[in-house]
């Protein structure tokens, strides 16, 4: 077979930025963005992004420069996803929930040339710039004012976003991607356990992630997408670019309050949204005043901890159809999607919830997902029981960690990306995460999955938050220790449940060796700014505690025991101060 060379007609470097140009041609008059009273069409969005790219170049931004942004889900945040790479630069969206010192760390590490700041985050940005180490160059700052109702807030007399748009030249051709392996985005991990790492995405990886996620989630044409997931999370799980591919409408909201979510769904006919399971609680706990009728089914893609069955049932009864996914910054968002088989609809509700809580099958763009013993790199049996580390490989795995060869090399082993998560593969090929590898509790030689214990805890009617970590045990080495927050009554008071009632509930629902030997009640569990439970803090606490059995006299008769005063003494104070 002869060589037939690539040419302009048959080879285009893959880049999700392409979707915008196409949208401007084939969805030109359709609505691209809705935010308060602002509406744009795809043609307008394209023009605005061309202007933005042109202005960025006028400001000296060039290939591979990092452009950072601190903003909620507003139109400018969406436009930056195209405008920045259209200037050849790399987009770095920063988690707005970080504190000033963290923001400064990221700005210094990324060597950002420019920082876009939404007007509400000007105080945070000011503080962050003060925290910048003297060795770091300070980025130029551009404020993004409220588009509907400008406040006039500026930083040090600097530029405002709309000035860049109006001053740009829409006829200046956008930067053309030469090599699809070039960087498009830099996203820092949230760093639950270590310093944040800068994950670099290529144009190719982002493009293929978009295609594969749209396909697996079944995003048809004309989606109306609600931005309930921050765009700073893996570029909105790549749906920023994805909406341009489908000619969808981006419904932007500044906060994920119940009122904003209900209103957006009702006013604009939202068809799709992504969110963490915690948003289900926001929706379900909405006051009557905040609610609007939901007339058509809303597809919801959710990640993170699998929502408990009861929560899943409630949210689906409210008009939402949930698809569960699993991912991480390093995999350009979702790496596994729990594709649903029609025949599962006939199973009992509890079994359906268990099926839905599984993380699912590999994203199409991945070559393979497996569960391995990472010492031998042997695959575990597909029996739904054998634990191993979840490993991935394929086109939507990051290029690597920015300026961090050590962690990059540690993450890639033998042609696989090691997720650090522990899971099993069921005989039907569906993967289920059992734990973060560091969260596995090894008790008497047995591996205990803390997620499994947490799942049982969540089934207790009074438990609203639960986390299980290892605590030291003189005989077994480690033993599970549970931290729980209880439901509140109508007056906002937390319910009271006795420790042994929780332990008994566990004994009735899991293998004996897995039962927590200690339950600690808290007002609220300590979390990161992105809502992840800070297990290392809990682990610190657990280290100082004693198993319940060691402070009671009749370990075999939980049912009859009175409330332990010793437990009360050990109760952790109000965790809001943590």
Using CB under 8 A as the binding rule, the residues of this chain from 49 to 68 that contact its own copies are 64, 66
The single residue listed with the structure tokens 């860049």 is: 164
The single residue listed with the structure tokens 């049932």 is: 313
- Smallest gap, in angstroms, from Cβ of residue 183 to its own copies? 5
Select 4 or 289, whichever has its Cβ closest to its own copies: 4
Select 369 or 503, whichever has its Cβ closest to its own copies: 369
Among 99, 101, 181, 511, binds its own copies (CB under 8 A): 181
Is 108 in contact with 136 (CB distance < 8 Å)? yes
Select 222 or 564, whichever has its Cβ closest to its own copies: 222
Among 350, 368, 378, 383, binds its own copies (CB under 8 A): 368
In angstroms, the CA 187 to CA 191 distance is 12
In angstroms, the CA 442 to CA 454 distance is 16
Among 239, 416, 483, 548, binds its own copies (CB under 8 A): 416
Is 53 in contact with 168 (CB distance < 8 Å)? yes
Residue 351 binds its own copies (CB under 8 A):
no
Q: Which of residues 383-412 bind its own copies (CB under 8 A)?
A: 392-395, 397-400, 402-403, 408, 411-412
Residue 428 binds its own copies (CB under 8 A):
yes
In angstroms, the CA 23 to CA 34 distance is 16
Burial class (CB within 10 angstroms; exposed 0-12, middle 13-18, buried 19+) of 136: middle
Residue 344 binds its own copies (CB under 8 A):
no
For 481: left if phi > 0, alpha if psi spans -120 to 50, otherwise beta; the answer is beta
Residue 41 binds its own copies (CB under 8 A):
no
Among 60, 150, 429, 555, binds its own copies (CB under 8 A): 429
Select 246 or 473, whichever has its Cβ closest to its own copies: 246
Residue 259 binds its own copies (CB under 8 A):
no
Residue 8 binds its own copies (CB under 8 A):
yes
Residue 25 binds its own copies (CB under 8 A):
yes
Residue 295 binds its own copies (CB under 8 A):
no
- Cβ atoms within 10 Å, residue 399: 18
Select 269 or 531, whichever has its Cβ closest to its own copies: 269
Select 178 or 368, whichever has its Cβ closest to its own copies: 368
Retrieve residue 117's tokens: 């700041």
User: What's CA 99's distance to the chain center, in Å?
Assistant: 18
Task: Return the bridge partners of 144, or none.
Answer: 118
Residue 21 binds its own copies (CB under 8 A):
yes
Residue 173 binds its own copies (CB under 8 A):
no
Among 216, 228, 235, 443, binds its own copies (CB under 8 A): 216
In angstroms, the CA 497 to CA 132 distance is 48
Three-state SS letters, 18-82: HHHHHHHHHCCCCEEEEECCEEEEHHHHHHHHHHHHHHHHHCCCCCCCEEEEECCCCHHHHHHHH
């Amino acid at each position: 077979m002869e060589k037939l060379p690539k040419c302009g007609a048959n080879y285009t470097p893959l880049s999700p930025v392409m979707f915008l140009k196409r949208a401007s041609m084939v969805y030109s008059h359709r609505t691209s963005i809705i935010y308060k009273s602002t509406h744009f069409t795809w043609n307008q969005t394209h023009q605005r992004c061309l202007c933005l790219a042109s202005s960025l170049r006028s400001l000296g931004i060039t290939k591979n420069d990092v452009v950072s942004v601190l903003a909620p889900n507003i139109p400018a945040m969406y436009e930056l996803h195209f405008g920045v790479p259209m200037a050849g630069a790399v987009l770095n969206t920063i988690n707005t929930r970080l504190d000033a010192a963290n923001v400064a760390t990221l700005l210094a590490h990324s060597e950002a040339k420019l920082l876009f700041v939404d007007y509400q985050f000007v105080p945070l940005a000011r503080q962050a710039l003060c925290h910048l180490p003297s060795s770091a160059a300070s980025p130029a700052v551009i404020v993004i004012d409220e588009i509907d109702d400008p406040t006039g807030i500026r930083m040090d007399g600097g530029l405002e976003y709309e000035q860049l748009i109006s001053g740009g030249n829409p006829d200046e051709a956008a930067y053309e991607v030469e090599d699809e392996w070039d960087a498009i985005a830099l996203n820092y991990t949230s760093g639950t356990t270590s310093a944040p790492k800068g994950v670099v995405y290529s144009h190719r990886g982002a493009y293929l992630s978009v295609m594969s996620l749209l396909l697996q989630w079944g995003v048809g044409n004309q989606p109306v997408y609600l931005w309930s997931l921050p765009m700073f999370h893996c570029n909105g799980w790549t749906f920023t670019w994805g909406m341009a591919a489908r000619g969808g409408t981006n419904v932007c909201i500044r906060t994920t309050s119940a009122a904003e979510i209900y209103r957006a769904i009702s006013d604009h006919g939202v068809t799709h949204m992504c969110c963490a399971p915690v948003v289900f609680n926001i929706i379900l706990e909405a006051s009557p005043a905040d609610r609007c009728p939901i007339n058509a089914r809303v597809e919801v893609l959710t990640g993170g901890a699998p929502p408990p069955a009861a929560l899943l049932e409630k949210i689906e009864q409210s008009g939402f159809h949930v698809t569960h996914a699993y991912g991480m910054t390093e995999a350009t968002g979702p790496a596994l999607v729990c594709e649903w088989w029609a025949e599962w609809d006939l199973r009992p509700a509890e079994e359906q919830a268990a099926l839905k809580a599984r993380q699912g099958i590999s994203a199409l763009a991945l070559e393979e997902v497996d569960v391995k013993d990472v010492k031998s790199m042997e695959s575990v049996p597909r029996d739904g029981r054998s634990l191993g580390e979840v490993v991935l490989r394929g086109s939507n795995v990051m290029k690597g960690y920015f300026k961090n060869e050590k962690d990059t090399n540690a993450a890639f082993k033998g042609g696989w990306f090691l997720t650090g998560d522990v899971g099993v593969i069921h005989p039907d090929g569906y993967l289920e995460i059992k734990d973060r590898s560091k969260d596995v509790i090894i008790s008497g030689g047995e591996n205990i999955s803390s997620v499994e214990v947490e799942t049982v805890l969540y089934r207790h009617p009074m438990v609203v938050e639960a986390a299980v970590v290892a605590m030291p045990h003189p005989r077994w080495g480690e033993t599970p220790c549970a931290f729980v927050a209880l439901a509140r009554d109508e007056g906002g008071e937390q319910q009271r449940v006795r420790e042994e009632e929780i332990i008994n509930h566990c004994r009735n629902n899991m293998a004996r060796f897995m039962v927590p030997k200690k339950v600690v009640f808290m007002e609220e569990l300590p979390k990161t700014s992105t809502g992840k439970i800070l297990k290392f803090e809990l682990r610190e606490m657990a280290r100082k505690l004693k198993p319940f059995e060691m402070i009671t006299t009749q370990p075999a008769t939980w049912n009859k025991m009175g409330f332990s005063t010793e437990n009360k003494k050990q109760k952790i104070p109000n965790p809001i101060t943590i």
